[in-house]
Structure 1
Amino acid sequence: MPRVLIAADKFKGSLTGAQVLEAISAGIAEAVPDVQVCSSLIADGGDGTLDAAVSSGFTRVPVSASGPFGEPVETSYAVRDGRAVVEMADACGIVRAGDRRDALRATSRGVGDVMRVALDSGIRDIVLGIGGSASTDGGAGMLQALGARLLDAEGADLPPGGGALARLAQVDLSTLHPALAETTITLASDVNNPLLGEQGCVAIFAGQKGADEAMKVELEAALTHYAAQITAAVGRDDTALPGAGAAGGVGYAAMAVLGAGMTPGIDVVLGLGDFTELLPGSDLVITGEGALDLQTLLGKAPAGVARAAKAAGVPVIALCGVASLTPQEVVDTGLAAVYRLVELEPDTAVCMRDADRLLRELAARAARDHFVN
């Protein structure tokens, strides 16, 4: 019996990752019922990473944490065999911000809150998914939640947000959670930007977090000052490391202060579940997300799945809502074909509204193309 392995991410704004897997599975079963279907929920370090971990056998542990503007939120981490998966997006990411965008005041404290609880429980191996952030505070809030003291000239703790970093006068890392010294932290992210400059987190990402041009100038100056203070405290300059600009600088703080290592988020998530076990012997891999574009080529989930499938000699196709990749870019990604919801329904608003039905139809079409025609 032929086997299809579905490894897909969410269709942002319309379907969760689990709903995507269900719709594709149903479409295949309708079109070619004699095909065995296996599925693996994936993510790239952003929202959905916790769900992917839980679907692969991790246990969810509830936690109370600070949201992106300091409000209390109920989130969780996932644990298995002494390893915890922490998702920044669910604790204090932009999905928690609603319609509010405030790049100067949003904080990364919530992800540090979750890490602290995991450390207190005895965890010494943390996968830290940092996609989908709301903040541009250089990871300062995370460090404060983990015990670091970031003080102004009067010796007071800095308030939340990247804007406050301009007033940083003293960095005291001696009060960091003691368990961090014996903890392995793996950053899961699809962002390779440095912290500062034309490709840094402010220039590239702060606009989508609510920063206008004046705010960007203020944030860049504040982060530059903050990074100089951190460099002096740790004895090295990590601002140019790939991934330092991830999550508004959380990547920088995690690498420079916590000793974390950066790994593409999709590679981390694929390693958590049973994808690598299911891949050999599969006749087709189906991946996808809401939009396939140039960001896909930079390490989004479908590109990681395509890379792994291609290395195993298994053909891979993608189902998506829309795609702006050129034919050559599709080939470069390792995809044999791309199927789009807009091929069935040109109105993107209808595609968003009826994504479940249309994705089932699209999956059926793809299955017939591959196994019948």
Structure 2
Amino acid sequence: MRILLAPDSFKEAASAEAIAQAMARGIKRGNPQAECWLMPLSDGGEGLTHALVHATGGTLHDVETVDAVGRPIIAQFGFLGNKHTSCTAVVELASASGLERVSPADRNALVASTFGTGLLIRAAIDAGADCIVLGLGGSATTDGGTGLARALGFHFLDTAGHDIPLGGGSLVDLSRIDDSEVPDFVKNVPIVLACDVTNPLTGPEGAAHVFAPQKGATATQVELLDQGLANLARAIMQYNGRDIEHTPGAGAAGGTGGGVLGLFNATVKPGIELVLNLAHGREACAWADVVITGEGSIDSQTPYGKVPSGIAKLAQSQGKPTIAIGGTVTRDPHTVEALNKTGIIATFGIAPGPADLTTLIANTERNVEITCAAIASTLRITAATSPCESA
């Protein structure tokens, strides 16, 4: 039996690569004769760089940068492998400016900035990148990508002509944008935004109202951040005539989607589609008899642009079934029906029984291995007992 192992990361527990390896160990325990193809995936958030470097035989590069609150850290970008004609670099916003980089006690929704991600992009360009794939997801920021842009030479000025402070909280004081120190090649380098959300920049469904509370923002701060992003949209319209406020995906990563679309040579693609294309997902699904995927939580969001539904739809188009595992699994009928429509025929929670969250997270890889061993044993028995067609 050929089994494609194509999980996302289990957030705050294990990377997609670690989950795929745990899956493989479990499959071999349950069916030593099974063949496994490991294809760790990402929908554009955490794990994008490793997923694409793994899939293309590329390289990882360490860079000295800063986290969302300005503390020095080491983060990574990647170059895709030699099979690609362009020198394409992969940067994920979560690597430098991610929420997981900042403890809950240190999170500050008003000052958190994407400046560190801009330093990663600058390092990639300095190393020869002529195209950037930028993963939007998992950010600690709501600055509309202005920190990123500042690291690449832009200035965001108040009415007195002074640079406003980093962070989304200062965007209400933005008067105009100055690009006099941005090199032309930086302005023109193609940037592909890998994004799994369609939220606009502002309003009830925008970056501040939907995502900022997860980043520590109070109700008052949410309103201030929303006003700031609306002011940024106005300043970009004044700067180059681009209207980003209601563009689908502009609200991704605290408005970074909108800022990058407004200031750079950028386009948006669904993250999972981009990854599956570069990872040769169609070829992998054609090879497999069954696909096993997973993410930290299989819930009502899973059928819409997430890794499990993305790989399941591709497998379904090849006539192959998909099984999904998760740290938690929602069983409500509407979610189950939506998952079934994507091609996911069964879901399994990996928790062995009642336990506190800390213990479950610490044992994630072990629990993935045990669950996949049971799945492999079941698949082996099913295959062995299936009636043969008569001649």
- Comparing 184-193 with 92-101, greater Cα deviation is found at 92-101
Paired amino acid for 2:72: P
Match among 93, 114, 119 for residue 88 of structure 1 = 93
CA distance in 1, matches of 2:325, 2:379: 13
Matches within 5 A, 1:1-373: 2-56=1-55, 57-80=57-80, 81=82, 82-99=87-104, 100-326=106-332, 327-342=336-351, 344-347=352-355, 349=357, 350-373=359-382
Contact in 1 for aligned 2:188/2:265 (Cα 8 Å): no
The 10-residue stretch of structure 1 (68-77 or 191-200) with the greater mean CA deviation from structure 2:
68-77
Report if aligned partners of 1:185, 1:260 keep a CA contact under 8 Å in 2.
Answer: yes
How much is the aligned-residue C-alpha RMSD, in angstroms?
Answer: 1.6
Change (3 A) 1:125 1:323: same
Within 2, Cα distance between the matches of 1:155 and 1:261?
31
SS at match of 1:295: coil
Instruction: Using the aligned pairs only, state the percent identity.
Output: 36
Secondary structure of the corresponding residue to residue 279 of structure 1: helix
Following superposition, the deviation at residue 274 of structure 1 comes to 4.1
Residues 323, 340 of structure 1: 8 Å contact kept: yes
Return the letter of the residue paired with 1:258.
F
Q: Is the 8 A contact 2:44 2:195 kept in 1?
A: yes
Whole-angstrom CA distance in 1 between matches of 2:167 and 2:311: 35
- Secondary structure at the counterpart of residue 172 of structure 2: helix
Deviations 1:249-298 (A, max 9, x none): 10001111113111111122222324333221210011001111122122
Q: Secondary structure at the match of 1:251?
A: helix
In 2 relative to 1, CA 181–169 (structure 1 residues): closer, same or farther, beyond 3 Å? closer
Q: Secondary structure at the residue paired with 1:241?
A: coil
Residue 162 of structure 1, CA deviation:
0.5
Deviation for aligned residue 1:125: 1.0
Paired residue type of 1:347: A
Amino acid at match of 2:2: R
Does the aligned pair in 2 maintain the 1:30–1:364 contact within 8 Å? yes
| Paired residues of 1:341 and 1:351 also in contact (CA < 8 A) | no
TM-score scaled to structure 2, two decimals? 0.91
SS at match of 1:34: coil
1:302-359 Cα deviation digits (max 9, x unpaired): 11111111122211110111111532122133201111123x3243534333222322
* Cα contact 2:282–2:315 (8 A) shared by 1: no
Task: State the one-letter code of the partner of 1:127.
Answer: V
Q: State the AA in 1 paired with 2:61.
A: V
Alignment match, 2:385:
none
2:286 is paired with a residue whose SS is coil
SS in 1 for 2:301: helix
- 2:342 counterpart letter in structure 1: T
Question: Aligned partner of 1:21: which letter?
Answer: A
User: Residues 146, 40 of structure 1: CA spacing in aligned structure 2 closer, same or farther, 3 A cutoff?
Assistant: same
2: CA distance between counterparts of 1:67 and 1:258? 22
TM-score (norm: length of structure 1): 0.95
> SS state of the match for residue 296, structure 1?
coil
CA distance in 1, matches of 2:289, 2:144: 44
Structure 1 unaligned regions, length at least 5: none
The question of whether the paired residues in 1 share the 8 Å contact of 2:27 and 2:376 is answered with yes
Whether the 8 Å CA contact 1:79–1:85 is kept in 2: the answer is: yes
Partner Cα separation in structure 2 for residue 252 and residue 208 of structure 1: 19
Structure 2: gaps (5+ residues): 383-391
Contact between 2:281 and 2:314, CA under 8 Å: does it hold in 1?
no
Change (3 A) 1:325 1:160: farther
Amino acid at match of 2:59: T
Cα displacement (A) at 1:130: 1.5
Partner Cα separation in structure 1 for residue 331 and residue 226 of structure 2: 32
Structure 1 residue 24 displacement after superposition: 1.1
CA distance in 2, matches of 1:211, 1:177: 35
